[in-house]
Amino acid sequence: MGVTRFVLSALLISVSGCAASKPATDFTYQDVPAEHIADRIFLADTIAEVERCEAPFADVRVVRPNFVSPPPPVDGGCGGKARAAAGPEYVDAVSRITALHDTVVTEWNARLKAGPEAAETRAAEVTLLRCLERAGFTQRGPGDPSLESYGIGSGDVALNNAAQKCSDLSDYGYRIASQRIRTLRSVLGRHEAEITEIAKLRPVLARHVRPGDGPDGARFGLPQ
């Protein structure tokens, strides 16, 4: 019994020692709240401060589905003259951040549209569509039942309002938001080294804060 206890203690010390010696990453993306991913990982808040625009990268701010109001522009109205005035160092930094954002979003969307994630989305949609049917809305278009074939997003205010109510009252909104943040964090995990490097760019961006700069509507991170 004493020998067994000694061996187990030695193993535990060995394992804890390995864990302690593993270098911590500069950025713990998994702990970032969903609403802060754009700011904490893609430095959207600092870009907005420099360019005096709305924070960009709105597409990685995971919230429950909103069928009533249009989504905010992904670029936040940033870019253009305000970006050019900040100089090449700043433009290069934003271009690097934008490239990582675009890669992450492309991989994220591909995951959501394929395999078990797509099946999970369809299963959640069934809950929403059944609620709409109980409210008197039926399928309008051809094909399998879907948000699109029911006309959601077509501009029908009554339908969109009903979809929002169904989303809020059922578990649809929660399931979709939970799925999106889970899959986004999974994709971010593939880019841990790049995220760490991007985090180092915050002081580079912050050096270019200037009073009086204004937004211009060009696409962020792209050459003029």
As a whole number of angstroms, the distance between CA 52 and CA 209 comes to 9
Question: Phi/psi at 185 (nearest 5 deg)?
Answer: -65, -35
Least confident of 4-8, 57-61, 84-88, 150-154: 4-8
Query: For the chain, how many residues are written?
Result: 224
Output b/e per residue, 78-87; b: 16+ Cβ within 10 A.
bbbebbebbe
pLDDT tens for each residue of 155-170: 999 999 999 999 999 9
User: Looking at per-residue confidence, does 215 or 96 come out higher?
Assistant: 96
pLDDT tens for each residue of 79-121: 888 899 899 999 999 999 999 999 999 999 999 999 999 999 9
User: Could you tell me if 79 and 217 are in contact, meaning their C-beta atoms sit under 8 angstroms apart?
Assistant: yes
pLDDT of residue 151: 94
- Give the pTM: 0.78
Please report, rounded to a whole number, the percentage of residues in the chain having pLDDT higher than 70.
Answer: 80
Least confident of 38-42, 149-153, 174-178, 214-218: 214-218
**Quick check: 187 pLDDT over 60?**
yes
- CB atoms under 10 Å from CB of 10, counted, come to 10
As a whole number of angstroms, the distance between CA 217 and CA 165 comes to 34
As a whole number of angstroms, the distance between CA 224 and CA 79 comes to 9
Of the candidates 70, 180, 188, the one whose C-alpha atom is nearest the C-alpha of residue 124 is: 180
As a whole number of angstroms, the distance between CA 157 and CA 118 comes to 27
pLDDT tens for each residue of 35-77: 899 999 999 999 999 999 999 999 999 989 999 987 888 888 8
As a whole number of angstroms, the distance between CA 218 and CA 79 comes to 5
pLDDT of residue 166: 95
Token pair for 96: 């690097």
pLDDT of residue 65: 92
pLDDT of residue 28: 53
Rounded to 10 degrees, what is the CA torsion of 186, 200, 215, 105? -20
